[in-house]
Amino acid sequence: MKKLLNTVCAAALLALSLGAAQAQTYPSKPVKIVVPFGPGGFTDVVARILGVKLSESLGQPVVIENRPGAGSMIGTDQVAKSAPDGHTLLIVSSTHVISPWIYKSVPYDPIKAFVPVTKLVDSPYVLLTNPKVPAKNVQEFIALAKAQPDAIHYASSGNGSAQHLIGGLFASMTKTQLKHVPYRSSNLAATDLVAGVVESSFAGVPNALAQVPNGRLNALAVTSAKRIPQLPNVPTMQEAGVAGFDATIWLALLAPAGTPASIVNRLNSDVAKIMNTPETQKAMFDAGVEVSLSTPAAMSQLMVSEMDKWGKVVKEAGIKLE
């Protein structure tokens, strides 16, 4: 028994010493942050703001790699299978914990395959319409959709994306039939919305800020419970008459499961310092998101609770993909 205890203690001490050694030498090469969405969306914008400052903090280049597709599963699966050494990281949105509810098969466990580093930001979405759409507010939009079932299209950054899910939630709560049109990125969706190829979209705040002030698109409502300072004259869905509507999306930084706690804690500390500087706070505000940080443990708990919450939303909205 004594021999067994000595062996266990020795193994624990070895693991601790290895972790400490890894933390001291980390990072030993460039760090890659995978964004499982196309360029130009708010996930990509946040990643690039963070990447520049994190490179300075870590003393190594930080490369942002866009790997869109399959509702963010392609890029996410790549990171799940990467070496757990802190040199390959992942920025996910709330859709990370929603995929198992809408896809028949997901190649990784969204909880067990990763270790959270920190929550990064919160952001609402905005119901945008092309100016050619005669509806000037949410109630007129709902009336138009009910009068013409499946005639109004809403663009998203892909099947299973947050934009897709929020559109499905809206249709479910308002008892309307909207036609979903998936794109490979939110930028492509916004381009076709401005061109009038599609009539509407539940878009990220950066897309709204790029098109609403110049009159290219109309903003009917934000999806959060409170108005946002970037668009103070745009009502919330609840103010616009859709009672109980509240859908805010978060972004988080994750690492592959098995990444040493010493590295995770180092990253958590560095990111917190970066995100709390006035310069970064302003950049995030201008990008239409609100900095919202967490400990790794708190982020882990949030992912579990959000998985349960959105599972109920998906079932009620009847969203299912192959």
Whether 54 and 132 share a structural domain: no
Q: Look at 149 and 320; give whichever has higher pLDDT.
A: 149
Which CATH number does the domain housing residue 78 bear?
A: 3.40.190.150
Q: Look at 248 and 112; give whichever has higher pLDDT.
A: 112
Lowest mean pLDDT among 142-151, 206-215, 296-305: 206-215
pLDDT confidence tier of residue 311, bands split at 50, 70 and 90: confident
Tell whether 149 is covered by a domain: yes
Q: Look at 228 and 316; give whichever has higher pLDDT.
A: 228
Amino acid identity, residue 24? Q
Tell whether 264 is covered by a domain: yes
Query: Longest C-alpha distance within the chain, in Å?
Result: 80
Tell whether 18 is covered by a domain: no
Element (H, E) at 272: helix 261-275
Tell whether 6 is covered by a domain: no
Percentage of the chain with pLDDT > 90? 71
**pTM recorded for the entire structure:** 0.80
pLDDT digits (tens, 9 = 90+) for 114-133: 999 999 999 899 999 999 99
Q: What is the dihedral of CA 145, 147, 151, 157, to 10 degrees?
A: 10
pLDDT digits (tens, 9 = 90+) for 272-303: 999 999 999 999 998 888 999 999 999 999 99
Whether 214 and 129 share a structural domain: yes
**Domain that residue 186 falls in:** 125-222
Cβ contact 89:257 at 8 Å: no
pLDDT digits (tens, 9 = 90+) for 151-168: 999 999 888 788 988 998
Number of folded domains that form the chain: 2
pLDDT digits (tens, 9 = 90+) for 45-87: 999 999 999 999 999 999 999 999 888 899 999 999 999 999 9
Which CATH number does the domain housing residue 214 bear?
A: 3.40.190.10
Whether 97 and 113 share a structural domain: yes
- pLDDT at residue 2, as a whole number: 53
pLDDT digits (tens, 9 = 90+) for 163-203: 988 998 899 899 999 999 999 888 899 999 999 999 999 99
Whether 155 and 207 share a structural domain: yes
Last residue of a domain, one of 222, 242, 272: 222
Q: Look at 11 and 137; give whichever has higher pLDDT.
A: 137
Tell whether 109 is covered by a domain: yes
Q: What is the DSSP string of 54-106?
A: HHHHHTS-EEEEE---GGGHHHHHHHHTS-SSSSEEEEEEGGGGTHHHHBS--
Instruction: Show Cβ contacts of residue 79 under 8 Å, excluding neighbours closer than 6 positions.
Output: 34, 88, 89, 90, 114, 254, 256
